[in-house]
Amino acid sequence: MGLREVMRELHWSPAEKKIAREAYDAGRERVLAETVAAFKMRAAAVSTPEEMWAMRDFLSERGRDLDFLLDYRYSQLSRVLGQMIGRGLLEESAVAGLDEEKCQIIREVAAMVAKGGD
């Protein structure tokens, strides 16, 4: 089975859902804050029309990236949490309490992302 199928069949207990929700919310808040900060820094440096139009592409790319990153479906959540950890948005300890299968997926995704596979 591929990762997609494995993730689709994971069972999330109520306790795990609570842990995942908190971790997700923290990672989401952090990535959005970082994106807003990056936007503002770049926008402040804009001085030509070309640089201004480039901000449209910046926002479109970030929008697509965040749509994928912030997909809160249980069939995606292990990948999402792994990506967040791999990007340094979350500590691995934030997902402590999830079962071993999920933790393994999360660690694998995180390692891949940290190596630049994201």
Please classify residue 118 by burial: count the beta carbons closer than 10 Å to its beta carbon, then call 0-12 exposed, 13-18 middle and 19+ buried.
middle
Q: Quote the least distance from Cβ 31 to a second copy, whole Å.
A: 10
Between 62 and 107, name the residue whose CB sits nearer to a second copy: 62
Q: Quote the least distance from Cβ 12 to a second copy, whole Å.
A: 27
Between 21 and 64, name the residue whose CB sits nearer to a second copy: 64
Torsion sign (Cα): 109, 113, 117, 118: positive
The first and second tokens of residue 71, run together, are: 């997909």
Between 54 and 96, name the residue whose CB sits nearer to a second copy: 54
Between 63 and 117, name the residue whose CB sits nearer to a second copy: 63
Q: Quote the least distance from Cβ 56 to a second copy, whole Å.
A: 4
Q: Quote the least distance from Cβ 43 to a second copy, whole Å.
A: 3
Beta-carbon neighbour count of residue 12 at 10 Å? 17
Read off the DSSP letter of residue 116. Answer: I
Task: Name the residues that contact a second copy, by CB under 8 A.
Answer: 32, 35-36, 39-40, 43-44, 46-49, 52-53, 55-56, 59-60, 63
Torsion sign (Cα): 70, 71, 73, 78: negative
